[in-house]
Amino acid sequence: HRRVTQYRRVLLKLSGEEFGGGKLGVDPDVVSRIAREIASVSAAGFQIAVVIGGGNFFRGAELRQRGMDGVRADYMGMLGIVMNCLALQEFLEQRNVVTRVQTAIAMGQIAEPYIPLRAIRHMEKGRVVIFGAGMGLPFFTTDTVAVQRALETHCEAVLFTKNGVDGVYSADPHKDPSATRFDTLTYDEAISRDLKVVDQTAFTLAAENKLPMIVMGLEPEGNILRAAQGEKIGTLVNA
């Protein structure tokens, strides 16, 4: 069951919840395991960039509901993301993978600023690029950032790994046991069904630009590499 093509350059979106292992903060064992997966993708010759969420620290929407100003809450969310980026950088470098973190909010002591052409150059040299601080703009989520960064740095696909979900289902599989998983889905279907697994802005942006999206689980080990190699993993959302 091979998909059409092997990708040359991919963007991987990881959720912050994964990084925390279900808790607040970073779980080093989890991040180390994810780093091993990314290292194997890079070692196999794929160019890879990463966008991480920040749900293990702060979600703007949750802080809003608890009475905080939404814009400031979103900036807190973006700063949480940067901690995840540094954790991933650490565990990749422990495996001798050369990495660069680029942030959308300037913080020169710890990361480069987001410079797309430079990010492309890093990837061409085999470096793993980690994009941090989201888009640098409140009112966005990292799903949308993942699609935007993938488009701007000419990634051929965006891989979304979702906490505890291995693809796109007809309904929330945690709530509805009769939910079935799609192997493939068009963007029109994903948008009209109002599927919540990836946010709608991200779907719309990917659809308009015909960027293939794969929604998949991190488990079993080797999944990210297999997806990059074009194997049929999770759900492929395509034009």
User: Binding residues for ligand UDP, per CB under 6 A?
Assistant: 15-17, 53-55, 59-61, 74, 77-78, 81, 134-135, 137-138, 140-142, 145
- Tell whether residue 137 is among the known ligand binding residues: yes
- Tell whether residue 57 is among the known ligand binding residues: no
Q: Which is nearer to ligand UDP, 41 or 79 (CB)?
A: 79
Q: Which is nearer to ligand UDP, 6 or 139 (CB)?
A: 139
- Tell whether residue 15 is among the known ligand binding residues: yes
- In the chain, the DSSP E strands lie at 9-14, 47-52, 99-103, 112-113, 128-132, 157-161, 184-186, 213-216, 235-238
At residue 239, the 3 state secondary structure works out as: coil
Q: Report, in Å, the least distance between residue 134 CB and ligand UDP.
A: 2
The amino acid that residue 222 corresponds to is G
Report yes or no: 15 and 218 within 8 Å, Cβ to Cβ. Answer: no
Q: Which is nearer to ligand UDP, 3 or 37 (CB)?
A: 37
- Antiparallel, parallel or unpaired: β 157-161 and 99-103: unpaired
Q: Which is nearer to ligand UDP, 87 or 135 (CB)?
A: 135
The Cα-based distances of 94 to 11, 29, 224 in angstroms read 21, 13, 20
- Tell whether residue 46 is among the known ligand binding residues: no
Q: Report, in Å, the least distance between residue 202 CB and ligand UDP.
A: 10
Question: What CA–CA distance (Å, rounded) separates 102 from 68?
Answer: 28
Structure token pair of residue 198: 């990836």
The amino acid that residue 33 corresponds to is R
Question: What CA–CA distance (Å, rounded) separates 130 from 91?
Answer: 12
Structure token pair of residue 16: 């912050």
Q: Which is nearer to ligand UDP, 133 or 155 (CB)?
A: 133
Q: What is the CA radius of gyration of the chain?
A: 17
Q: Report, in Å, the least distance between residue 69 CB and ligand UDP.
A: 12
- Tell whether residue 223 is among the known ligand binding residues: no
Q: Report, in Å, the least distance between residue 131 CB and ligand UDP.
A: 10
Q: Report, in Å, the least distance between residue 76 CB and ligand UDP.
A: 7
- Tell whether residue 178 is among the known ligand binding residues: no
- Tell whether residue 183 is among the known ligand binding residues: no
The amino acid that residue 123 corresponds to is M
Q: Which is nearer to ligand UDP, 9 or 59 (CB)?
A: 59
Question: What CA–CA distance (Å, rounded) separates 179 from 132?
Answer: 34
Q: Report, in Å, the least distance between residue 161 CB and ligand UDP.
A: 10
Could you tell me which residues are annotated as the binding site for UMP?
A: 54, 74, 135-142
Could you tell me which residues are annotated as the binding site for ATP?
A: 13-16, 55, 59, 163, 169, 172
Could you tell me which residues are annotated as the binding site?
A: 13-16, 54-55, 59, 74, 135-142, 163, 169, 172
